[in-house]
Amino acid sequence: MGKNGYHKMEMEVGIYQNTTSRNYLATKKIERKSYQKSFRTLIDAKDWRKDLTPTTRHLLHPYRKATLKEVWTFMQADHFPSLAISTVAIWTRRYLLLAQLEHLPMDQIIPSTISTWVAKNVENFKNEEQRGTGRGKSSRCNLNNELNLFVTIFNWYKGSEKFEQEALLLTCPVKRKHKEQGFIKPIPDKRKQINLQDALLFFDELKPLYKDLALLQFYCAGRIGEIAGLQWSSINLNQKRMVIKHTCNWCMTSKMFIDLKNFPKNKEPRPIYITREISEILQRCEAFRLPGNDFVFHVNGRPLNYGTIQINYRGAQRKSKIPYSGTHILRHGMAKLARKVGGGLDAVVAMTGHKDLKLANHYSKCDEDDQREISEKIMEFIRLSKLETSHDCANVISLFDFKRR
């Protein structure tokens, strides 16, 4: 019997293949507990099913501290199924450098170990041969992502019931100094919070379908997957209320639609008040509604692919000549606008649905547009002050002139 979105591989035990991405899902049971993991090749999937050592070694030796690799393996089995596919892909990529430490037991990974690891990798990435490598044009700037991932792994390790006894007295070895030591070069200037004027220019360059998609994403301060996955069943025009509770699941490599998840990234549905502008967008979309198709945004009944959205967004950003790129700038932009209009982080949380005030602050923090606006206000105040001072001095008679009279 196949799993949802997968078909069972013939002649293979516990291995399934995804019908869209063609990746392989391997499953196995250890001491009545089920584990599963995705692989690109069938050979890797079969090897993982056969190799019981990484997941059972800790159970066989309860007094020995688990290695980083064993913790990572358990974390993949227990925690990864609850994460978005994009998050799993990002964490897997960031773990590649941490794999240099995976042979060490967790109690032997201490601050000095992290310092040595950081120094080694910083020296490596500063070499002339490495400067052109890395993701994107900016290449490697620092080791913050890897350090943050280790903190995430360690926190999961501390909170896991499998390791609660051995991890009880351990403290996280990553310290503030490690991020300072992990500096390689300055991060390139990349603006994320699109301002209202540039957003309007951007919308004007989009085709009708993608213009409505972008407008709704901006008005809802939503993630692009949430708006692309919006369902008519979540909308009540009479009550002027809709709920963000679905999100598109796209393949990280092909950027094609895989399936629709029944919950957003933070696992909590988010109600949205339908304003007049949102209502107008939904009315336009309703004209293209098809029987049996619950997607608000679609192309001939088929859900939108992320690659197509990217192409349309990039084209409009290029034509409008705005200094922004990506699909997430609209969420950042509305967060900033909400803070400016609403006057605080509560307004940001109300629009974006963030649980953490720290994240809400990150999305809406001050940028160069704020600096320009405040600078103009300060300079205007200085100009008025100078003008008032000059007027006051014009009515003053000097002591020398008074004596001559």
Terminal alpha carbon distance of the chain: 112
C-alpha span between 250 and 216 (Å, rounded) = 20
Residues 150, 76 share a domain: yes
Contact between 71 and 153 under an 8 Å Cβ cutoff? The reply is yes
Of 127, 150, 181, the position where a domain reaches its end is 181
Model pLDDT, residue 46: 82
Model pLDDT, residue 1: 47
C-alpha span between 269 and 231 (Å, rounded) = 13
Nearest of 321, 300, 285, 302 to residue 213 by alpha carbon:
285
pLDDT exceeds 70 at position 130? no
> Within a domain: residue 375?
no
C-alpha span between 48 and 15 (Å, rounded) = 11
pLDDT exceeds 60 at position 133? no
User: What φ, ψ does residue 363 adopt, rounded to 5°?
Assistant: -70, -30
Contact between 360 and 345 under an 8 Å Cβ cutoff? The reply is yes
Q: Which residues face 18 on adjacent strands?
A: 6
Residues 200, 171 share a domain: no
> Within a domain: residue 79?
yes
> Within a domain: residue 386?
no
| Residues 171-225: tens digit of each pLDDT | 999 999 999 999 988 887 777 889 999 999 999 999 999 999 999 999 999 999 9
Residues 200, 155 share a domain: no
Residue with tokens 């892909």: 89
Residues 6+ apart with CB under 8 A from 168: none
Per-residue DSSP letter, 187: P
> Within a domain: residue 377?
no
Of 364, 381, 399, the position where a domain reaches its end is 364
> Within a domain: residue 169?
yes
Nearest of 194, 141, 187 to residue 328 by alpha carbon:
194
Q: Which residue has the higher pLDDT, 248 or 50?
A: 248
Contact between 278 and 216 under an 8 Å Cβ cutoff? The reply is yes
pLDDT exceeds 80 at position 310? yes
Model pLDDT, residue 321: 94
Residues 100, 246 share a domain: no
Residues 346, 303 share a domain: yes
* Residue 58 pLDDT level (bands cut at 50, 70, 90): very low
Q: Which residue has the higher pLDDT, 231 or 354?
A: 231
Residues 6+ apart with CB under 8 A from 39: 23, 24, 25, 26, 45, 48
Model pLDDT, residue 274: 93
C-alpha span between 366 and 363 (Å, rounded) = 9
- The encoded tokens of residue 175 equal 């310290």
Percent of the chain whose predicted confidence (pLDDT) is above 70:
87
| Residues 230-281: tens digit of each pLDDT | 999 999 999 999 999 999 989 888 899 998 988 888 788 999 999 999 999 9
C-alpha span between 9 and 147 (Å, rounded) = 38
C-alpha span between 343 and 276 (Å, rounded) = 23
The dihedral through the CA atoms of 266, 271, 277, 282 has a sign that is positive
Model pLDDT, residue 366: 77
Domain of 305, CATH number, reads 1.10.443.10
Model pLDDT, residue 109: 95
Residue 93: which domain range? 52-181
pLDDT exceeds 90 at position 72? yes
Helices (H) and strands (E) in the chain, counts: 17, 11
Residues 269, 352 share a domain: yes
- Is residue 250 within a helix (H) or strand (E), and if so which, with residue range? strand 247-250
Nearest of 83, 86, 5, 77 to residue 267 by alpha carbon:
83
* Residue 284 pLDDT level (bands cut at 50, 70, 90): very high
C-alpha span between 346 and 360 (Å, rounded) = 9
What is the total count of domains within the chain?
A: 2
C-alpha span between 292 and 301 (Å, rounded) = 9
Residues 6+ apart with CB under 8 A from 347: 338, 339, 341
Residues 261, 294 share a domain: yes
> Within a domain: residue 85?
yes
> Within a domain: residue 221?
yes
| Residues 377-405: tens digit of each pLDDT | 888 888 888 776 665 555 555 555 555 55
pLDDT exceeds 50 at position 56? no
Of 156, 181, 206, the position where a domain reaches its end is 181
Residues 204, 102 share a domain: no
Give the number of residues written for the chain.
Answer: 405
Mean pLDDT score, 315-331:
93
Residues 352, 230 share a domain: yes
> Within a domain: residue 23?
no
Residues 237, 131 share a domain: no
Contact between 245 and 254 under an 8 Å Cβ cutoff? The reply is no
Percent of the chain whose predicted confidence (pLDDT) is above 90:
47
Residues 224, 105 share a domain: no
Contact between 210 and 323 under an 8 Å Cβ cutoff? The reply is no
Q: Which residue has the higher pLDDT, 131 or 155?
A: 155
Residues 230, 158 share a domain: no
